[in-house]
Amino acid sequence: MAIFITGSTGYIGAHVAANLLGECAEPLNLLVRAKDPQEAQERLWRSLQLHMDFTHFRAALDSRMRIFLGDLTGENLGIESVQYAELVRTTDSIIHCAASLNRKSEKSCLNVNLRGTLQVIKLALRAKEGHRLQRFSHVSTVAVAGQRQNEIVQEDSAIEWDRSDYDPYARTKKFCEHMIAELLPDVPRTIFRPSIVLGDSRQPETNQFDMVRAFVFLASLPVLPFRSDDKVDIVPVDYVADAISKLHRKEKPKHEIYHLSSGTASETYKELTAVLAAAQGKRPPTFAPALEKSTSGMVNFLSNRAGKTGKMATLLKVFLPYLTWNTVFDNARVVKEMGRKPAPFSQYCFALLKFSRENHFSYPYREWPRDADAPLVQPAVRGNS
C-alpha cells in the first residue's frame, strides 16, 4: 500500500516527498501532469534534485515511486480507468499538496483548488470503500482566517464565514477545508495551515522565487512603509515539510488542524532588517507607516505596466496585504508535537538573499543525464492530461 501525493513537483510537495523517501519504507503514488512517462519523470527529477542526486533519485524511481499521469481537475484525476482502479486499490493514505497560488486569478483558484480537491476527495471515498483509508492530509493556508489586523489567531477559531477574504486563493482554500470536513466525516483528517513559507533553514538553495523576489526588493529599499514593531509570520519550508510528513504518519495526532507558522515568536520588521543590514554592512531602513496607503496605490498603478517594474509591482500587489496585517498564527500545537520550534527567519534570511541574487532568481537545474539509461516506462502511468 502507498501514500498518494498531489503536488509532488511543487515546492512544498517535493519537500514532503523527499522526506517520506528518507523517513519511511512506504511507496509513493504520485500524480504528475505530463504528456508521457518520460516528461513526467524528468519533471519529477527537476523538483527532487534539490534534495538528492540523480543516482538516489533513479533508485527511488525504480523501487519506491509510482507515477500516474493525469490532471488534478480531470474526472478521476484525468487517469484512465484501469490505472485509476489501481491507484484506488493501492492508496491507503493521501497528502493533498497541489494548489493554485495564483492570487490574481479566481478562475485558476476555482478550477485547481475547488474542482481539484473535489476529485481528490472522490478518490479518498473510493479508497475508503475498498479498504480502510488511514488518513487524509490537506495542505491549506493560514490565509483562510480572512482579513485580520493585530491579532494572534488560534486554529479552531480561525475561520469566520462572515469575515472578508484577502483574495481568491484564501477564499477557495477555506472552502476546500469545508468540503473535506463535510464529505469525509469518518476519515481521519489533518489540516495543515502554513503561514508565509520562505526559504529553507538548512541551506540557501531554493527553487521557489516569487515571494523571495518581493522580499529581496523590499530589503533593498531605504524606506519601508511598515510599522517597525509589526510582526511578520515567516516559516521555513523544511519545518513545514517535516511537520506534514511526520504528523501524517502518526497514528493519532492530537489535533485535526495545525498552524505551521512561527507563532508568537515571529520576528518584527525592525529585527529582520537589522540583521540584513548588519550582514551587508549597510544602515537599516527608515520605517514610514504613513506611506502605506500611498505605497499601495503606487503598486496598483505600476502593476499595469510592462517590463520588470510591472512584474515586481504585481508581486508586491499580491503579497503586500500579507505583510501589513501584523497577525501571527499560534503554533503551540505543532511545536509540542514536533518537540521543536521552527528556525527564525533572521538565522537564514541573508543566505537566502545572497543565493537568490547571485543566481538571478533562478535555480541551476540539472537536466536528465545524457549517459543515463532512458527514463523508465512504468506500468500504471498512462492517463488523460
pLDDT at 321: 81
> Quick check: 382 pLDDT over 90?
no
The total of structural domains in the chain comes to 1
First-to-final CA distance of the chain = 25
Look at residue 214 and tell me if it is in a domain: no
Do residues 9 and 69 lie in contact, with contact meaning Cβ atoms separated by under 8 Å? no
Residue-wise pLDDT for 97-136, tens only, equals 999 887 677 888 999 999 999 999 999 999 999 888 999 9
Look at residue 205 and tell me if it is in a domain: no
CA dihedral 258, 260, 263, 269 (to 10 degrees): -150
Residue-wise pLDDT for 45-59, tens only, equals 999 999 999 999 999
Look at residue 370 and tell me if it is in a domain: no
Which alpha helices (H) appear in 27-144, and where do they start and end? 37-48, 54-63, 81-90, 106-109, 116-130
Do residues 117 and 96 lie in contact, with contact meaning Cβ atoms separated by under 8 Å? yes
Look at residue 255 and tell me if it is in a domain: yes
Look at residue 109 and tell me if it is in a domain: yes
Question: How confident is the model over 322-330, as a mean pLDDT?
Answer: 92
Residue-wise pLDDT for 283-293, tens only, equals 999 999 999 88
Q: What percent of the chain has pLDDT over 70?
A: 96
Domain that holds residue 115: 2-196+233-261+327-342
Do residues 279 and 346 lie in contact, with contact meaning Cβ atoms separated by under 8 Å? no
Look at residue 294 and tell me if it is in a domain: no
Is pLDDT larger for residue 311 or for residue 336? 336
pLDDT at 177: 98
Is pLDDT larger for residue 300 or for residue 42? 42
Look at residue 357 and tell me if it is in a domain: no
**Which H or E element spans position 192?**
strand 189-194
Q: Which DSSP string do the residues of 111-146 spell out, in sequence order?
A: IIIIIHHHHHHHHHHHHHHHS---EEEEE--GGGG-
Q: What does each C-alpha distance from 146 to 150, 172, 184, 185, 198 come to in angstroms?
A: 13, 11, 24, 24, 20
- Residues recorded for the chain: 385
Q: Angle, to 10 degrees, between the axis of helix 210-219 and the axis of helix 307-323?
A: 90
CATH number at residue 53: 3.40.50.720
pLDDT at 3: 98
